[in-house]
Structure 1
Amino acid sequence: MPDFSQQLSQYMPEAAAPIISAWINDTGCQFRIARRRRTKLGDYTAPFRGAPHKISVNHDLNPYAFLITTIHEFAHLQTWQQYKHRVKPHGMEWKGHYKQLMAPFLRLGIFPPDVRYAILQYMENPAASSCTDVHLYRALRKYDENVTEQCTIESIPTNSIFALENGRVFQKLEKLRKRYKCIELSTDRTYLIHPIAEVILIKEAAGIKK
């Protein structure tokens, strides 16, 4: 069987590469290093009309984020093998496989202490994307190359005016549980936006919109 360890070690911690290489061989998965995608870090496609399992992971992730995303997608593969389409994509079955697949990497001490701690917290209730977990996202961001300080919802003052990447303009209001209440200025509609959503600050601490 081919050994993909050398190629994989360019994108993930070296100690993890042989394990992932074995997973690829054992499942017959078509594993692809993908270009950067803003809407997702990786994806899984189930077998269809004779095609194999397919997993892709963005090439520009730091090694720990790349590995976590790879484990996330292999958990989808295992869930499909056991249940096909009979369960929710990120339901209890997927969460169980995710925790099981993550375990050997935690035992090997592959992750730095801050990332390991964030993973352990995240694993209490894994979500559809590691980016939705604020603590894990912050821990992983520290290991990005050429990291620059990004402007996020949580980093700007309340009542500030900001724009999203798509050009829509909002005013930040109060925090409701885990997300910030924001009002879109062109429509007066209210939205709840994740605290680590990247934004463009237009006007700091403006007066409350009437």
Structure 2
Amino acid sequence: MSITQLERFLPENALPFLRKWFGEHYIHIKITRERNSKLGDYRRMPDKSHKITINATLQPQLFFFVLTHELAHLLALENFGRRIAPHGAEWKHTFREMLLESIAIYSEDLRPIILKFSRSPKANFMASPDLVKYFHIENVDDETSYVDDLEIGDRFIYRKQTFVIKEKRKINYLCKNLDNGKAYIFKPLARVEKLT
């Protein structure tokens, strides 16, 4: 897929950044169906070409963000060598620089979130509650909430089972399954249906 074919997935004015970052590299971009396990993926191929996959269902700003993340892997490898950790200091430095360079691509309400994230980029998109909440605004069912938005003692339904929040442990929540009596740990950004 050529860079110009990516345009329909991207926010306005993103192509100049991609042209610069792609440079002379041979990169095979594959747009995939939605995957729950990941938003994108980077692989260096045996022939020294590069393969990036990205979910087709992402909003344009998130698509660009994920593509920037994956391209940062390629550029970090090229600049620092193949012995670097996949999400180590070299990748973080590269991703941070790319985010700051392209900050104008993002909408004004998203820029402060991107700037905050860029201070210490995370390997996993889900590790940034601000980004997760921002990009789920349009797709969220009004009847669902994040566990993080509930209070101790609130009841909720998750996968057709009823739970109650018992306590917060650092960032996660200890919850009791009211159907079987067992305790479970929930991440703060788990999507649940609050019971009133």
Q: Flag whether TM exceeds 0.5 (same fold).
A: yes
CA RMSD of aligned residues (A): 2.6
Q: Return the offset for 1:198.
A: 1.8
Matched residue, 1:136: 131
Give 2:130's aligned amino acid.
Answer: H
- Asked if 1:199 corresponds to 2:174, the answer is no
In structure 1, stretches of 5+ residues that fail to align are: 206-210
After superposition, the Cα gap between the structure-2 partners of 1:28 and 1:155, relative to the gap in structure 1 and judged at 3 Å, is same
Whether the 8 Å contact between 1:4 and 1:18 is mirrored in structure 2 is no
Count of residue pairs brought into register by the alignment = 192
Question: Which TM-score applies when normalising by structure 2?
Answer: 0.82
CA distance in 2, matches of 1:27, 1:102: 20
Give 1:136's aligned amino acid.
Answer: L
Higher strand share goes to which structure?
A: 2
Q: Return the offset for 1:83.
A: 2.8
After superposition, the Cα gap between the structure-2 partners of 1:181 and 1:90, relative to the gap in structure 1 and judged at 3 Å, is farther
In structure 2, stretches of 5+ residues that fail to align are: none
CA distance in 2, matches of 1:125, 1:195: 20
Q: Return the offset for 1:190.
A: 4.5
Q: Return the offset for 1:64.
A: 0.8
CA distance in 2, matches of 1:182, 1:125: 30
CA distance in 2, matches of 1:24, 1:170: 48
Matched residue, 1:8: 6
- In the TM superposition, 1:49-198 aligns within 5 A as 50=47, 52-81=49-78, 82-84=80-82, 86-106=83-103, 109-142=104-137, 144=138, 147-149=140-142, 150-159=144-153, 160-164=155-159, 170-183=163-176, 186=180, 188-191=182-185, 193-198=186-191
Give 1:4's aligned amino acid.
Answer: I
Question: Which TM-score applies when normalising by structure 1?
Answer: 0.77
CA distance in 2, matches of 1:47, 1:189: 44
After superposition, the Cα gap between the structure-2 partners of 1:112 and 1:37, relative to the gap in structure 1 and judged at 3 Å, is same
After superposition, the Cα gap between the structure-2 partners of 1:60 and 1:3, relative to the gap in structure 1 and judged at 3 Å, is closer
